[in-house]
Structure 1
Amino acid sequence: MNIGVIIFLVFVLFIFLSSFFTVKQQTAVIIERFGKFHSMRQAGLHLKIPLIDKVAGRVNLKITQLDVIIETKTKENVFVKMKVSVQFKVIQENVYDAFYKLEYPHDQITSYVFDVVRAEVPKLRLDDVFERKDDIAIAVKRELNEAMTTYGYDIINTLITDIDPDPQVKNAMNRINAADREKSAAEYEAEAQRIRIVAKAKAEAESKRLQGQGIADQRREIARGLVESVDVLNRVGINSQEASALIVVTQHYDTLQAIGADTNSNLILLPNSPQAGSDMLNNMVASFTASNQVGEAMKKAQRKKKDNDDYKRPDYLNQIEDTTNDDKEE
C-alpha cells in the first residue's frame, strides 16, 4: 500500500468522524451552512455535512449569575459600594436572538445595572438604602427584563448582596450607635436609681409613721394607766397631787431597778442620790402648789377686770350682754 492510499484513507476517516458531534445537556448548538444559520441542535448525538455545515457556537441554557460592583452616592453625598447579583438564563425558544443579536450579554447587563442603581440610590438617604434595598433590586430586575427579553434573555432574580459605605462613614455610624446605646443605658440607670431612692424614701416615711403611731399609742396607754392609777389612789383617800407624786417616785425606782438588772449597761440616771426620790416628790408637790396658786391668781385677776368693766359700762349694755349670754347658754 502506497502513501497516497494511506493519506486518502486518513482523510476519509477524518471526514467521517467530523460528521458527528454531541451536544451536552442544557446546551444548544448553532449550525451554520456556508456562514448562514441552518439549524439549532439540542442535547444528544447529531450529524452534519462535513465541510459544509459548521458548529457556529454553543449557547449555555443554565441559570448564570453575574456579580456587579457599583460605587455610587446617596442623597446626603455619602459614597457606598453595592454588590448586585443578577441571575439570568437564555430562553430556550429564543436561542437565535441570544446568539445573533447580542454579542456580550454580561457587558449589556452590567450597563443596565449601573444605570438603574445610579438613578435610584441618589434619591435615598444612607439608612433608607439599607432599609429599601429590596425596592432597588426590584427596580433593577424590572429594567433588565424590559431590555433583555428582546435579546432572548430572562432575568430570574436580582439581589443586592452587599452595601459597603465609606470606612469613615461606617466609623461615624458606629460611634453614633455607641453613643445612643450609652445614652439609653444612662437613662435606664438613672431611672433605676430614682426608683430605688423613691422606694427607700417611701419605706422610711412608712417606718417613721408607724414609729410615731407606736409612740403615740404607747403614751396613750401610759396616760390611761396613770389615770386609772390615780383613780384607784383617790378611792383610798389619796388626792390627785399626792397620787401623781407617788406614781412618779415609783417609776423612778423602777427605772433604777431596771438599770441595775443589766450588768452591761453604761447608763447613769441623774440625780441618783438616796434622797433623789424625796427631792423629786417635794419638787413636784411644790410645782403643783405653785401652779394652782398661779391659776387662782389669774382667775381672780380676770374676774376683777370683768367686774371693773361691768361697773364702767352703762346698765343697758350689761343687760344686753347678759341676755346674749343667756341665749348662748340655751
Structure 2
Amino acid sequence: MFTYIFIAIAVLLLLASFFTVKQQSAAVIERFGKFSSTRQSGLQLKIPVIDRVAGRLNLRIQQLDVIIETKTKDNVFVKMKVSVQFKVIQEKVYEAFYKLEYPHDQITSYVFDVVRAEVPKLKLDDVFERKDDIAVAVKRELNEAMTTYGYDIINTLITDIDPDIQVKNAMNRINAADREKTAAEYEAEAGRIRIVAKAKAEAESKRLQGQGIADQRREIARGLVESVDVLNKVGINSQEASALIVVTQHYDTLQAIGADANSNLILLPNSPQAGSDMLNNMVASFTASNQVGESMKRANSTKRLNKPNKKDEFGSIEEDEE
C-alpha cells in the first residue's frame, strides 16, 4: 500500500515539474519567494515545491484607451480620447513584473499629466490641427518614464476630440455660414459671367443687325438708282420715276400683307385712292421742293451782286468770298 502511495506522490511531483508558457508570453519563476529566472514560450522545467510560477506577462502589443477632460486656451472644455499602444520589453520582464504593480494606472497618470499640460496652451481650432503634436508629446513623456519599468511605448493616437455640445453647435453654424458665403460668392461670379456674356452677345447681335440693315438699305438705294435710270431711258423724269417706284412698293406691301393669313399688321392709309393720293402728294412735294430750291439760288445770286467790295490796306479792291 505504501508503495502505491509513493508511486502516486512521485507521479504528482513529476507532473508538477513541467509547465508550459504560451507564445508571446513570459513566466517569472521564484524559488522560496525570491526571483529565480524568467522563462519564455514552450515546455519548461522547475523544481517541484521549491520553485513556483510567480506570474506571467503578455509580450504582445496592448492598447489602453484614456479619456481626458481638459480646457483649451480659449476656455472651451473638451473630452479627448488617447489610445496608447505599448508592450513589455522582452529583456526587461523582471522590471515590468516587480517594479510596477499597476502599469495601466501609471500610463493613465502620465497621459493625463501631458495632455493637461499641452492642451491649455492651444485654442480649440489649434487642438484639432495640432493633435499629432500632442500625441508626439505624450509618446515622448511616456517613453522616458515607462522604459525604466520595462515597458516600450509603440505609439500614441488621439482618436477623438469632443468639445461641449453648445460649442460644437456653434462651430457647425460657423462652418455652415462660411460655406453659404462661399456659395454666394461663386453664384454671384457665375451671374456676372452670364450677364457679361449675354451683353457681349447682344452687342454683337446689334452690330450684325445694324450692319445688315445698312447693307440692306445700301442695296435698296442701289436698286432705286438703277430703277430710276431705267425709267429715265424711256422718257420718265426722276420725280415721276421716284413716285412710280414708291407707289409700286406700296402695292407690293399690300399684297404681302394680304398673302399672310396670320398677319396682324394694319397699313394706313388703306383706301382705294390711297395710291393715287400718295402719288399726287409726292409729285406736289417734289415740285414745291424744286421751286424752293430755285428761289434760294436766285436770292443768293442777287445778294452776291449787291454786296460792296472791300479795299485792302494798299488800296486794291478785294472781292468778298462767300
In structure 1, the residue matched to 2:274 is 276
In structure 1, the residue matched to 2:42 is 44
In structure 2, the residue matched to 1:314 is 310
Equivalent of residue 26 in structure 2, options 28, 36, 46:
28
Between the aligned partners of 1:260 and 1:99, the Cα distance in structure 2 is 114
CA spacing shift, 1:289–1:52, aligned 2, 3 Å: same
* Partner-residue secondary structure (3-state), 1:160: strand
Between the aligned partners of 1:270 and 1:143, the Cα distance in structure 2 is 102
CA spacing shift, 1:237–1:124, aligned 2, 3 Å: same
Counterpart mapping for 1:191-210 below 5 A: 191-210=189-208
Question: How many residues of Structure 1 are paired with residues of Structure 2 in the alignment?
Answer: 320
CA spacing shift, 1:20–1:243, aligned 2, 3 Å: closer
In structure 1, the residue matched to 2:74 is 76
In structure 2, the residue matched to 1:176 is 174
Is 1:212 paired with 2:210? Answer: yes
Range with bigger deviation, 156-165 or 247-256:
247-256
TM-score, structure 1 length as denominator? 0.85
Between the aligned partners of 1:268 and 1:14, the Cα distance in structure 2 is 129
Between the aligned partners of 2:34 and 2:277, the Cα distance in structure 1 is 144
* Partner-residue secondary structure (3-state), 2:54: strand
State the percentage of identical aligned residues: 83
Whether the aligned pair in 1 keeps the contact of 2:247 and 2:278 (CA below 8 Å) is yes
CA spacing shift, 1:181–1:321, aligned 2, 3 Å: farther
Amino acid at match of 1:314: K
Deviation, 1:260, is 3.9
Range with bigger deviation, 63-72 or 295-304:
295-304
Whether the aligned pair in 1 keeps the contact of 2:72 and 2:78 (CA below 8 Å) is yes
Equivalent of residue 118 in structure 1, options 116, 124, 132:
116
Is 1:156 paired with 2:154? Answer: yes
Counterpart mapping for 1:219-234 below 5 A: 219-234=217-232
* Partner-residue secondary structure (3-state), 2:207: helix
Between the aligned partners of 2:295 and 2:224, the Cα distance in structure 1 is 28
Deviation, 1:298, is 2.5
Between the aligned partners of 2:261 and 2:97, the Cα distance in structure 1 is 115
Deviation, 1:68, is 0.9
Equivalent of residue 93 in structure 2, options 71, 92, 95:
95
CA spacing shift, 1:273–1:17, aligned 2, 3 Å: closer
Between the aligned partners of 2:263 and 2:17, the Cα distance in structure 1 is 125
Amino acid at match of 1:22: T
Between the aligned partners of 1:124 and 1:321, the Cα distance in structure 2 is 100
Deviation, 1:41, is 2.2
CA spacing shift, 1:237–1:98, aligned 2, 3 Å: same
CA spacing shift, 1:55–1:301, aligned 2, 3 Å: same
In structure 2, the residue matched to 1:328 is none
Between the aligned partners of 1:16 and 1:234, the Cα distance in structure 2 is 147
Whether the aligned pair in 1 keeps the contact of 2:20 and 2:42 (CA below 8 Å) is yes
* Partner-residue secondary structure (3-state), 1:293: helix
Range with bigger deviation, 115-124 or 271-280:
271-280
Give the structure with the larger helix fraction: 1
Deviation, 1:194, is 2.8
CA spacing shift, 1:57–1:273, aligned 2, 3 Å: closer
> Which sections of structure 2, spanning at least 5 residues, go unmatched?
none
CA spacing shift, 1:251–1:27, aligned 2, 3 Å: closer
Deviation, 1:108, is 1.3
TM-score, structure 2 length as denominator? 0.87
Is 1:136 paired with 2:148? Answer: no
Between the aligned partners of 1:298 and 1:23, the Cα distance in structure 2 is 135
Between the aligned partners of 1:152 and 1:319, the Cα distance in structure 2 is 132
Deviation, 1:214, is 1.9
* Partner-residue secondary structure (3-state), 1:237: coil
Between the aligned partners of 1:75 and 1:13, the Cα distance in structure 2 is 70
Range with bigger deviation, 264-273 or 166-175:
264-273
Deviation, 1:321, is 5.3
Between the aligned partners of 2:49 and 2:260, the Cα distance in structure 1 is 131
